Structure 1
Amino acid sequence: MSKSNDAVEIVSNFLAASMTPDPVKAATFMAADVVITFTGKRVMPDAHHITAFNKSRYAWVKKSIGQYDCMDKGDHLVIYSNGTLYGEWPDGRAFAGNRYLDRYEIRDGKITRMDVWNDSAEWILEPQISRS
């Protein structure tokens, strides 16, 4: 298996654990000093905080993964994962088609950096956007 395939598998396994949600298992794919930044510059120290944040924003949420793209930067690999989110808002309204883009840095078989962007904030501020 290539370095690129290994890195994509790490991210894929992390996402599967995150969507369960199983923050304990998700954390096994992350370095102890991981840097996690979500939309709005929300910095989180670990996978447990990701789960807590998602629990505060959604009744539940899952990812429909579109594709992975990999770049070798020499001392690390960068993996992009894109697709859409689907789930339910806290008030019970279902949603789907909410675009996301995640960027991961993989060093020595662990996620060392994770950056997350999605349409959720826009959809919360202007719910009619999600219906177009």
Structure 2
Amino acid sequence: MLVWLIDDNVLHSTLFQYVCKELNINYKIINMISDIEKEFDLIDTNNVPDIIFIDLILDHGERGENLLKKIKERLDNKKNIKYIAFTADIIDERSLMNKGFDMIIYKPINKELLKNKIKGFINGFSSHKK
């Protein structure tokens, strides 16, 4: 199991890292704080994750929906990836689902909620493999 977080918030990254270590799952944090295109070019297309958490509002005016589209163009043919949106905005969930997200988690996020969501996906993946 490999999980990615694409975010520009250090607190969310720290919480995510803590939860992944506690659950003993592999993770990668892609900090979209600086040059988004440069960071996007560093995404490893050979080590594709099972789940990607994407912040909807990133630095430099980048939107998570746009980033999701770019990621899907590069990765979707490699694995059945689950895409989770992080947002503090009130947003039309159906609209996000139509854009390719599988779930939305509203901020503020806490450790237990994040842990339970990741565990739920892990359980879902293991039950599909039976």
TM-score normalised over the length of structure 1: 0.29
Greater share of strand residues, 1 or 2? 1
Greater share of helix residues, 1 or 2? 2
Specify the structure having the higher radius of gyration (Cα).
1
